[in-house]
Amino acid sequence: MPQGHLDRLSSIDASFLTNEGSNSHMHVGAVMIFEGPPPGYRDFLDHVESRLHLVPRFRQKLAFPPAELGRPFWVDDPTFNLAYHVRHSALPAPGSEEQLRNVAGRLFSQALDRSKPLWEIWLVQGLERNRFALINKTHHALVDGVAGVDIATVLFDLQPVPEQHEPESRWLPAPAPSSAHLAAEGLRELGETPLRLGRRALRAAMHPRTTLRRATDAAEALGEVAWNFTDPAPDVPLNVEIGSHRRFAWSRANLEDFKRIKDALGGTVNDVVLTVVSGALRNWLRGRGIRVEGLELRALVPVSIRAEDEHGHLGNRIAAMRGPLPVYVEDPVKRLQIVRASMDDLKESKQALGAEVISRFNDFAPPTLLAQAARINFSTRLFNLIVTNVPGPQLPLYVLGRELQDVFPVAFLPDHHALAIAIMSYNGGLNFGLLGDYDSMEDVDLLASGLSASLNELLDAAALEQARHQADLAAGADLPG
């Protein structure tokens, strides 16, 4: 069962716990804006409760085996209180979007309580123009940020009339495990490790050619990962000591604009996204007096390694690649060409495979080695900021009959990383959410507006290219046959 009592965290999920500190919170989420008056708090609470059985993990909390005997477990919370996780707030008049962003910044400044299930949803009323918001916050150990499965996704309906779910029989938590039970489970896991390694060795012996090919690929992949440490990310103001407080900003765009650019100038939508981010960061750095000649930033770009039969399972199945942000390039078209070529090279490389090989090794590693590997994964030597792009549904979604208008995703800040940019497309839109350290990113709003300016540069270039193409077609039509 993918979400059962006493499930052990994967090595990837455990790494998000290991990397969390007082100033580096490992929760993710979104600010979601809806049209219409907000539902009553009791109605919304009942709605969440009616869907909670679809994600059993959200009634579970962490349990740590004594003496670091392996990774922690998910166990049913015997004192689960839904009202603790579903909260209610309101904006004072006039209820501006700036006020909502400030509330989001404050909420994402607060760590989740590890003694309880690691999630919250805030119902925020009073948003101007007859709107309200939901702000959800979930620990990355609990939800795969790429697959996007969490409590918020099961609340949505495809029609204004909410889908009626079969009433759940009264939920009864499994008995809480004792320390001795957790220790025994940890020892059992450690004892099974040699058996699992033995089974792998037996399969390898039975299929020597396949094993040799996989071993060769894995060795090459690990070599590419190791090479990254010889080519560190540059030292820029994004990589400074951060505090626990956050600022949040956003930028709206249309998905069709990104498609128009990639159709005219080449590349993928994701290539265009990285190019837009590069252009905004270029102008932001120059505004801070940083020379950008020859400067290429590195973005940590999460990619899913989830198999087809694993969709719908909670837990992280992600690897990370270092995407290029060529802020040294002034011309937006050349910038896109460089991003496109670099990302094509990355897709041909074995960076993602190397990260997957490491994650599989970590499944057998002792806790001390796992902690060291986790810290390496988020080292500032490897990248300057997180840039994650998650495709969302291209049709309207509803909660209790209210249509979702905007989604602004929220990533997380590892230690010494002052900025993270999350992007999500939804129903024809493509929105950027910028999470910044409160003290060192006081100009995060300026960077958010710079995304729009960078996009407009590419749109102008795409329009010019399309006009040239039309002129060439017209000239060809006028030539004698």
Catalytic entry in 25, 47, 140, 417: 140
Q: Residues for the chain: how many in total?
A: 481
Cβ count near 480 (within 10 Å): 3
- Alpha-carbon distance of 410 to 267, in angstroms, equals 26
Tokens of 10: 């994967």
- Alpha-carbon distance of 401 to 43, in angstroms, equals 12
Per the annotation, the verdict on 469 as an active-site residue is no
Which of 108, 55, 113 lies closest to 85, judged by CA?
A: 113
Do strands 385-390 and 297-304 pair parallel, antiparallel, or not at all (unpaired)?
Answer: parallel
Measured torsion, CA atoms of residues 194, 195, 200, 203, in degrees rounded to the nearest 10: 140
- Alpha-carbon distance of 239 to 381, in angstroms, equals 10
3-state secondary structure of 420: strand
Cis peptide before 326 (omega within 30 of 0): no
- Alpha-carbon distance of 193 to 190, in angstroms, equals 5
In order, the DSSP letters of 219-258 are HHHHHHHHHHTTSPPP--TTSS---S-EEEEEE--BHHHH
Catalytic amino acids? 140
